């Protein structure tokens, strides 16, 4: 699991069936101080995260499929939760 910041969303009118009706967000991994420490990636979101939110992301297909409830979906990264605050 990684800490990341949501920096935007992706709008796509044509998607694979497993991605239909799913929200795609652009996230950038950050360290515990909120400083960017990795490359931007696209993650599926079912927790209604928005730009500026800190989130927990999983980059493992099996865990992503479990969170999204789709055992056959082609998912690489998923938002697993929204962070309320960092200490």
Q: pLDDT 10s per residue in the chain (87 long)?
A: 999 999 999 998 888 887 788 899 999 999 989 899 999 999 999 899 999 999 999 987 777 777 777 777 777 889 999 999 887
Confirm whether 61 is domain-assigned.
yes
Buried b (16+ CB within 10 A) or exposed e, 22-58: bebbbbebbeeeeeeeeeebebbbeeebeeebbbebb
Q: Sign (positive/negative) of CA torsion 62, 67, 73, 76?
A: negative
pLDDT score recorded for residue 59: 87
- Helical residues (DSSP H) of 6-75, grouped into ranges: 61-68
pLDDT score recorded for residue 18: 74
| Domain range enclosing 67 | 1-13+39-87
Number of folded domains that form the chain? 1
Non-local (6+) Cβ contacts of 43 within 8 A are: 4, 24, 25, 27, 55, 57, 77, 78, 79
CATH of the domain at 75: 2.40.50.220
Confirm whether 33 is domain-assigned.
no
Q: How far apart are CA 87 and CA 70, in angstroms?
A: 34
Confirm whether 48 is domain-assigned.
yes
């Amino acid at each position: 699991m990684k800490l990341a910041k949501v920096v935007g969303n992706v709008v796509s009118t044509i998607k694979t069936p497993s991605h239909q009706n799913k929200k795609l967000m652009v996230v950038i991994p950050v360290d515990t101080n909120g400083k960017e420490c990795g490359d931007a990636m696209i993650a599926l979101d079912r927790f209604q995260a928005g730009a500026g939110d800190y989130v927990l992301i999983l980059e493992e297909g099996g865990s992503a499929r479990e969170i999204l409830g789709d055992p056959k979906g082609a998912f690489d990264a998923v938002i697993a939760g929204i962070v309320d605050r960092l200490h």
